[in-house]
Structure 1
Amino acid sequence: MAFSAPQAFATAGVLDEGGERLELVSLPRSFEPLGGHLRLEMASSLAGVAFEGLEVLEGYEHESIEYTVSHFLPNLEILRVIQEFGLDEPELRDRLDARVRASMERLGQGQNYDGGWGWYTGVNSESNPVISAYVLMGLVHAEQAGYQVNDYIFENAVQYLLNYLVNNLPDAEHPWLYDQAALIHFVLSQADFPVLDLASDLLDQRDQLSPWGQALIGLVMAQNAPDARADALFSNLQTSAVRSATGARWELDQAGTWQTLSSEVFNQAVVVYALAQRDPASPLVTDGMRYLMAYRDASGGWQSSYATSWALLAIAEVMRGTAELGGEFAFSASLNENPFATGQAGGAEQFTEVVAETSLESLLPDLPNALTIQREAGTGRLYYRAILDVVQPVESVEALNRGLGITRAYYPAGLDCASQDCRAVDSAKVGDLVTVRLTLNIPNAVHYLRLEDYIPAGTEVLDLSLKTSQIGEAQQEVSYDPLDPLARGWGWWYFGTNQVYDDHIAWLAEYLPAGTYELTYTLVVLQPGTYQVIPAQARQMYFPEVQGISQGSLFEVVP
């Protein structure tokens, strides 16, 4: 069985009025693709874009508390906006009911004794004020949507954030606390527990806030104690926007962003979210949303589950404030002057994207391919995205180090590699056990890291936490052995419990200091054949530009 390494290249845009846009699509020249396709998605309203973003959130696998909230919060808001327009989406509503109830149960179980939540559930996950504020925001929105929220959980969360605000006032030595305080003030205000004296003090220190922090504290004061300072803050957001042909954006100082999970996309989304509530008719809201649309990634989301959630919340507010669901116009696309797709804005069709797809064989291999997006005059906007998916042979994939280095090696199980040099293998017999060793090199400390490794198709991960293994032999439950503390590798104690899937295994780490780490697990060899193995991958979840990929490889299983 052959595995491959897909690569995606994407572009996106918005057409506000009648006209056309030309996008040039070229096939890669650095390798010969095994296959792939060109996919065009066109949405006649933000609703179509939002539904695609919600589908992207379904694809995340990690079990963090942040994702628990991101999994239901934007769904709640998109559904509420649609219902406010007198429309309905039964499939989304039915799916949401079960999801919210399951999330409420998990959040209740994961709440710490102090009333807060950590990044993930576990005995070593200390309460995090940003995560806790985000959870409370989710609880507030769930309650507003008519779901039952446990009063004890809600009140303890409020008390945790109130205590944190009082005991962690921002200062020059901890600059991220200004933005963090803005988020907490905003959520407490949504929960009807505003702390207006401290919020007013923070407004006086607005020069220390990022654009998204200014936007949130501006909303707090404008909604609870409006004065000239809040007006001046929103005026500053108007004048500080950087405008270009792509739209309007707000620059983010990167210092200390991991403490607040903030990124460029998150910053953009929160500012648009706030401006859409303050003045939805402002052209700046349209320009800010256009920029946000242009930077969707190839999956249809934005960078991470957290950034995608906030982008969808911004979309919901723009839809609510601009009544964009009322568009009326025809649109189409052509590829190399041949018809490719057509659609009509308005009615039930606005919830569904128009999608067209063609294989690489139909594209010009050596010349740019002309993809023309067209729309007629009429009310509304056309959002489009083109994705070129190409498949690269796994064995030709080279290692990538963008702030993280990762290697993978296979060894016969049972060898004492601490006392002797062990030679890595690239083959094994059916019935053998193989130890996989992942080595992660980190030159600088990282936060919120996800590491995942894909296994050869003819093998399975031996889950030693079970009493019986996949091959039916009795196993001992894994525990720490003081006589052999490195049996599971080096630095494993920084990682949470691994998650085993059908084709890969994954770990999460909230914090890793600079250094070298080793993680090991065991494979059971089951089916003979020569298998291409997808590289191991490590990345910071909220800053995925910091990532590492191991080299692609082949693994042979002999009878």
Structure 2
Amino acid sequence: MGKFLPMVFVEDLFKDLGIEDPTLAANIPKYFKVGSERLYELQHEDGGWGWWENDETHPYMTAYVTYGLIKAQQAGLEVQQDAIDRGIGSIKEQLKKEKDRTTQLFMLQTLSLVNQGDPKLLRKIYEDRKGLNPYAKAILALLLSQSGDPDKLQTVLQEIREAKIVEDSLVHWEGQEFHYNWQDDSLETTAYALRALVAGKSENGSQDGELIGKASRWALTQRIGDSWRSTKSTAIMVHAFYDVVKKTGELAPDYSVSVYLNGELVESFKMTKEDLTRGRTITILDSQLKKGENIIKLEKSGRGVLYYSAALKYYTGEENLQASDHGFTVSREYYRLKKVKREDAYVYLPEKVEGPVKSGEELLVRVTVKNPGNFEYFLLEDPIPAGAEVIKEDKGYEIEGDPNYTGENTFEYRYAGKEIHDNRVALSLTYLEQNEFVFSYLLRAQIPGEYHVMPAMGSLMYFPEKRGHSDELLLKIED
């Protein structure tokens, strides 16, 4: 969803502005076809979606996916109507028992796209809005802007204005960083606040014009390169800028820019409406930098707003990388499996690998994650040694002391998802509880050689700044 939805917004915006982008127009159907087919596969029998392949239907994800499919259909893409209808039906059923006000509002937002909202519930939430966070109030404002109640809309917008956080010349709305709940993210909260302010902004301007500009600039400072921290946050932020630009008409620039590094001109260029689809990327090599402080200066002249971001990329050539903890402690160990018979069944005894292993040996990979709190949507990715392969058919293995292999393949119930790629294994959890969790899978050593196995990396899927990785590992395989 997060990959094709921003493209849908951008193409729709370009159509409004009369801008043609043949590459974008050609790519959107291809991206959408791949993404939508996967979404159809993941739709549950009750019509809803979860965060992963094997978890329970989740009200937020059901509303999010259904919202995206409806938006894609409105943009002219071919969408299975049955998938939308079943999604709408699931939202209505879940809404009957949902108690969280923010989740209710998010679900109502999707239902409003097909004129199937619940005015009575919306009115009740408005009356009880005192305890709502800025994220929820922003969605409430969006819904009120559609319902044609300007007095209530302005009341909520004023409460949103009062909740802003001012940092120098920038403004944002605060979420609780690294919290496990999606509605407490400051990026998404600011995106929805922007959309709400734009929805309430009169055609001839208002007090919110300056506020929208400051919040937009804050959002751009949060980019990592040309996107935000995840595809989900990128999609939501692009939606916000889509609303901003359609309302303000900012996409008609005519200005020149000069970029300087330590007082020396690096590049000059002109930006007009025709350049918008291409953007501009300027690369400064390490050979151009001096030791110590380096100053990059941008000078602009002409009409329009210059939006920019900067990213630093570097690579290390060092070996034997050590574990790093930025919220999680991750450790990884390899074990040989010794097969022994006990009564009428075979059991595998794990023995820690010390020294080389033989080609053909079966190995247990065990990754332990220790964390200080309870979190949601955790992803572990562990690189596969080039000379080994994952044992995919691992049902029935009983490994002494391992919680994932008890002879009944119970790992399927412990993980929300398990994906085996050519170069890594990805294991996911909807809920990662405090203390520690053990991930494990099986390998078979194959091609003789000495292999550097890059660290196993664990992170929150939608807050990748909270992460940790294990030590690098050296695996030697012999004939």
Q: TM-score range by the shorter chain?
A: 0.7 to 0.9
96-105 vs 300-309, which moves further: 96-105
Residue 193 of structure 1: CA displacement?
0.8
Paired with 1:258 and 1:191, the residues of 2 have a C-alpha distance of 30
Residue 207 of structure 1: CA displacement?
2.0
Which residue of structure 2 lines up, in the alignment, with residue 65 of structure 1?
none
Which residue of structure 2 lines up, in the alignment, with residue 162 of structure 1?
92
Which residue of structure 1 lines up, in the alignment, with residue 425 of structure 2?
505
Which residue of structure 2 lines up, in the alignment, with residue 302 of structure 1?
228
Aligned ranges 1:95-494 → 2 under 5 Å: 95-122=27-54, 125-169=55-99, 177-252=100-175, 258-260=180-182, 262-279=184-201, 281=205, 282-297=209-224, 299-365=225-291, 367-376=292-301, 378-395=302-319, 397-414=321-338, 422-425=351-354, 427-428=356-357, 433-456=362-385, 458-464=386-392, 477-481=393-397, 486=402, 488=404, 492=411, 493-494=413-414
* SS at structure 1 position matched to 2:471: coil
Paired with 2:53 and 2:348, the residues of 1 have a C-alpha distance of 36
Contact 1:402 1:545 in 2 (8 A): yes
Distance 1:423 1:116, change over 3 A: closer
Aligned residue identity for 1:291: W
Paired with 2:403 and 2:60, the residues of 1 have a C-alpha distance of 35
Contact 1:405 1:442 in 2 (8 A): yes
Which residue of structure 1 lines up, in the alignment, with residue 457 of structure 2?
537
Aligned ranges 1:61-72 → 2 under 5 Å: 69-72=1-4
Distance 1:168 1:384, change over 3 A: closer
Residue 430 of structure 1: CA displacement?
5.6
Paired with 2:173 and 2:404, the residues of 1 have a C-alpha distance of 45
Which residue of structure 1 lines up, in the alignment, with residue 469 of structure 2?
549
Aligned residue identity for 1:390: Y
The Cα offsets for residues 34-80 of structure 1, whole Å up to 9 and x where unpaired, read as: xxxxxxxxxxxxxxxxxxxxxxxxxxxxxxxxxxx212222111110
Paired with 1:163 and 1:414, the residues of 2 have a C-alpha distance of 51
The Cα offsets for residues 377-423 of structure 1, whole Å up to 9 and x where unpaired, read as: x221222222222222453533222332211123345477x986723
Residue 336 of structure 1: CA displacement?
2.1
Match among 508, 517, 521 for residue 442 of structure 2: 521
CA-based RMSD of the aligned residues comes to 2.7
* SS at structure 2 position matched to 1:526: coil
Contact 1:82 1:88 in 2 (8 A): yes
The Cα offsets for residues 81-131 of structure 1, whole Å up to 9 and x where unpaired, read as: 011101121111111112323433333332222221111233xx2110000
Paired with 2:117 and 2:180, the residues of 1 have a C-alpha distance of 26
Contact 1:333 1:339 in 2 (8 A): yes
Which residue of structure 1 lines up, in the alignment, with residue 343 of structure 2?
none
* SS at structure 2 position matched to 1:518: strand
Aligned residue identity for 2:274: A
Aligned residue identity for 2:390: L
Distance 1:268 1:394, change over 3 A: farther
Distance 1:155 1:431, change over 3 A: closer
The Cα offsets for residues 275-301 of structure 1, whole Å up to 9 and x where unpaired, read as: 22332851111111100000112x432
Which residue of structure 2 lines up, in the alignment, with residue 92 of structure 1?
24
Contact 2:172 2:186 in 1 (8 A): no
Contact 2:335 2:364 in 1 (8 A): yes
Paired with 2:5 and 2:184, the residues of 1 have a C-alpha distance of 18
Residue 431 of structure 1: CA displacement?
5.8
Contact 2:376 2:429 in 1 (8 A): yes
Contact 1:528 1:557 in 2 (8 A): yes
Aligned residue identity for 2:373: N
Distance 1:261 1:240, change over 3 A: closer
Aligned residue identity for 2:140: I
Aligned residue identity for 1:452: E
Residue 540 of structure 1: CA displacement?
1.1
Paired with 1:254 and 1:98, the residues of 2 have a C-alpha distance of 35
Aligned residue identity for 2:319: E
Paired with 1:83 and 1:421, the residues of 2 have a C-alpha distance of 61
Where relative contact order (Cα < 8 A, 6+ residues apart) is larger, the structure is 1
* SS at structure 1 position matched to 2:333: strand
Contact 1:394 1:552 in 2 (8 A): no
Aligned residue identity for 2:316: Q
Residue 229 of structure 1: CA displacement?
2.0
Aligned residue identity for 1:165: L
Paired with 1:160 and 1:546, the residues of 2 have a C-alpha distance of 33
Residue-pair matches, total: 463
TM-score (norm 1): 0.76
Aligned residue identity for 2:453: V
Paired with 1:382 and 1:258, the residues of 2 have a C-alpha distance of 34
Residue 134 of structure 1: CA displacement?
0.4
Paired with 1:483 and 1:506, the residues of 2 have a C-alpha distance of 21
Aligned residue identity for 1:152: D
Paired with 1:259 and 1:390, the residues of 2 have a C-alpha distance of 32
Paired with 1:537 and 1:194, the residues of 2 have a C-alpha distance of 42
* SS at structure 2 position matched to 1:334: strand
The Cα offsets for residues 1-32 of structure 1, whole Å up to 9 and x where unpaired, read as: xxxxxxxxxxxxxxxxxxxxxxxxxxxxxxxx
